[in-house]
Chains A and B, each alone.
Chain A
Amino acid sequence: MSTGPVSTGPVGDDRGTPRTLFEKVWERHVVHRAPGEPDLLFIDLHLVHEVTSPQAFDGLRLAGRRVRHPELTVATADHNVPTTDIDQPVADPISARQLEVLSKNCAEFGIACFPMGHPNQGIVHVIGPELGLSLPGMTIVCGDSHTSTHGALGALAFGIGTSEVEHVLATQTLPQRRPAAMAVEVEGELPLGVSAKDIVLAVIGRIGTGGGAGHVIEYRGSAIRSLSMEGRMTICNMSIEAGARAGMVAPDDVTFAYLEGRPHAPKGAAFERALDDWRTLPTDEGAVFDTTVRLDAATLRPHVTWGTNPAQVAPIDGSVPSPDQFADPAAREAVARALAYMGLQPGTPIREVPVDTVFIGSCTNSRIEDLRAAAAVLEGRRVRPGLRALVVPGSRRVRQQAEAEGLDRVFKAAGFEWREPGCSMCLAMNPDKLQPGERCASTSNRNFEGRQGRGGRTHLVSPAVAAATAVAGHFAAPEDL
């Protein structure tokens, strides 16, 4: 096979034509390009967690390879960690082994690692931005589909499989075909009580679980620009739920203010130099997207999923749909199957569906602002008796900040359990699980069958709706209380 021309540095710096943010970040990372081959991209930051990495490290050992850039690689323990009694040994021996293997692999290959109890530990997609590791214009990968989160900072960030994890460890590059560019434009002002989570649920409801396949989405428009970094992360996080490779938001003053002073963000003159560079990243006037989707922010309402994929979603004022409303026979069957699994009757108003459990957490909604939004609803109120409610902060730093602000006291006074950081009930690899048939209002990102525990029924909502639902005992918006 021909190797094609070998480039001698960054290529494709074509300043003449208007380009999108995504194109700019892509082009500046092309290490090698040849006709008929995928581009070889340089990876600036490789994030690692315990679940998708052990087999990759094994592969390296088998081939006698080293990690090419351990200093561009950072690991954290998040999926398996218990969220109570973390000073005790991990009870599940298989989880314990996986966590131990991560620490051992990192020690062997010289990689920074944040195990359970470490001050920097947390969900991989929470700690990257909060430590200033994820910066505008970077390429970021992780063996985890929600790596799209980091795109909120103007990075090109996407999830990869374990073979690709091994490839990045060994070469710090990845062969990739360039995806198409999609614009999701959200203009207008969000109504009170409607959050970033509701925007992204509405987008997924509109374009479906495969609507973004083969695309990188850039979220644009006044409603996106007015969001905090946390809100932008929530939106980019769920890009994968629409099938997109990645989600991005152009870096602006909100981004720069968020980053300044973070532990790994550049300091002083280096920060100024970085800013000069980052300001060149936003999409040029006149740049062309392959697909554009438009949403009017003013018409949005809080959203609640009723089915078993994130596109099966409705405004909270709506009802559970009937399979008959769907023309396509395959869709009809999928809806009928989802309703059977979820134990829901067509036509039931969403607000009348009672819940057993409320989970506030996950890389979608476990940042400080999410906890503030939920606490604001819970202040002076109590969780409905008999309902189980937990808050799992996204990281140790988020947990500490929340405690400094007194949010933990608000949650505990309301009857929530205040937990240690990790993925927890988002995917139920640790002891936090739903029982079969239990119904949960969850701020996470996936309502797949069994995702939160075998037979569990998951409804995706925003932190404010989760909090209001915990008080009401059935789906509710804060305005209902």
Chain B
Amino acid sequence: MEPVTVVSGRAVPLDRSDVDTDQIIPSDWLKRVERTGFGRGLFSEWRDDPGFVLNRPEHQGATILVAGPNFGIGSSREHAVWALMDYGFRAVVSPRFADIFRTNCTKQGLVPVEVDPELGRALLRAVQEDPGLEVTIDVVRLTIEAPAAGLAGRFPLDEFTQQRLLHGWDDVGLTLRHEPAIEAYERSLPDWLPRVAPNPS
């Protein structure tokens, strides 16, 4: 994962709640065995509508998605995060994220910015009124600011995840520091745990 410190740029206002991962990337797209190229599938059913916010010329090149509450509910598909990032987003703002989606974001370096509902609404309105509004998300200070609209707030991120994002650390590498603890644990596994042999070749 690439380290991420600051995300700064224009935003797209997606004024909907309960945006599920089937909407973010429909299941047709899940047949691919690669990790790249999902940007074209992002919100593909909604994008058929020329008036859909992502299609508007004033929002091209935006790096931040601002959405309603319960963003990323539904399926665990990390493809949703790959699609958002492949399209060009580096941060998503919502008053509440679904748990698995949020974790998937932090594994890939897409910053989940959980704001209080009032700031979320104010930001949606501000970006709707001024598509050129510059929004800055700072992963060091855990702040989100849009000075031209007079908006500022903080967002939560536990220190461990924050450090991982800032340094772009590989999770597997971090875990393998605890190899002795894993080995010790493995010696205590109960004998009734199912162990399954591979298919005969």
Contacts and interface: CB of A to CB of B under 8 A. Distances in A.
B191 interface: yes
B182 A31 contact: yes
A285 B106 CA distance: 38
Residues of A in contact with B, size category: 35 or more
Interface stretch (B16-24, B51-59, B135-143): B16-24
A214 B177 CA distance: 27
Contacts of B195: 71-72
A323 B12 CA distance: 26
Contacts of B177: 3
Contacts of A173: 175, 178, 182
Contact of B104 (A70, A161, A214): A161
A145 interface: yes
Interface in B25-69: 26-28, 30-35, 45, 68-69
Residues of B in contact with A, size category: 35 or more
B99 A334 contact: no
B185 A42 contact: yes
A73 to B, nearest CB: 8
Contacts, number: 222
Interface string A101-139: 100001100111100000000000000000011010010
Given A98-B33, A113-B199, A449-B45, A32 B100 contact: no
B41 to A, nearest CB: 12
Interface in A437-452: 446, 448-451
Nearest to B68: A330
B103 A161 contact: yes
A428 interface: yes
Contacts of A167: 171-172, 175
The listed residue with most B CB atoms (<10 A of its CB), out of A1, A79, A264, is A1
B117 to A, nearest CB: 9
A211 to B, nearest CB: 10
B196 A52 contact: no
A95 B31 contact: yes
Given A31-B185, A264-B194, A448-B74, A55 B34 contact: yes
Contacts of B16: 334, 337
Nearest to B33: A54
A277 B81 CA distance: 40
Contacts of A427: 22, 27, 75
Interface in A151-201: 159-164, 166-167, 170-173, 175, 177, 179
A347 interface: no
A429 B182 contact: no
B148 interface: no
Nearest to B28: A429
B159 interface: yes
B181 A32 contact: yes
Given A171-B172, A273-B192, A163 B107 contact: yes
B8 interface: no
B111 to A, nearest CB: 16
A243 B70 contact: yes
Contacts of B31: 51, 80, 92, 94-95, 97-98, 429
Given A101-B33, A161-B107, A145 B172 contact: no
Interface stretch (A5-13, A357-365, A378-386): A5-13
A26 to B, nearest CB: 14
Interface in B164-193: 171-172, 174-178, 180-182, 184-193
B98 interface: yes
Given A132-B194, A209-B18, A1 B172 contact: no
21 contacts: A3-B178, A8-B181, A40-B178, A44-B189, A52-B78, A71-B195, A97-B31, A97-B33, A113-B199, A145-B76, A160-B103, A167-B171, A175-B160, A175-B174, A177-B158, A210-B96, A266-B192, A273-B192, A427-B22, A448-B22, A450-B26
Given A40-B182, A266-B192, 16 more contacts: A3-B177, A38-B160, A40-B175, A40-B178, A51-B30, A111-B198, A162-B104, A163-B108, A167-B175, A172-B186, A209-B73, A213-B96, A277-B192, A330-B69, A334-B17, A446-B20
Interface of B: 16-18, 20, 22-23, 26-28, 30-35, 45, 68-70, 73-79, 81, 96, 98-100, 103-104, 107-108, 158-160, 163, 171-172, 174-178, 180-182, 184-199, 201
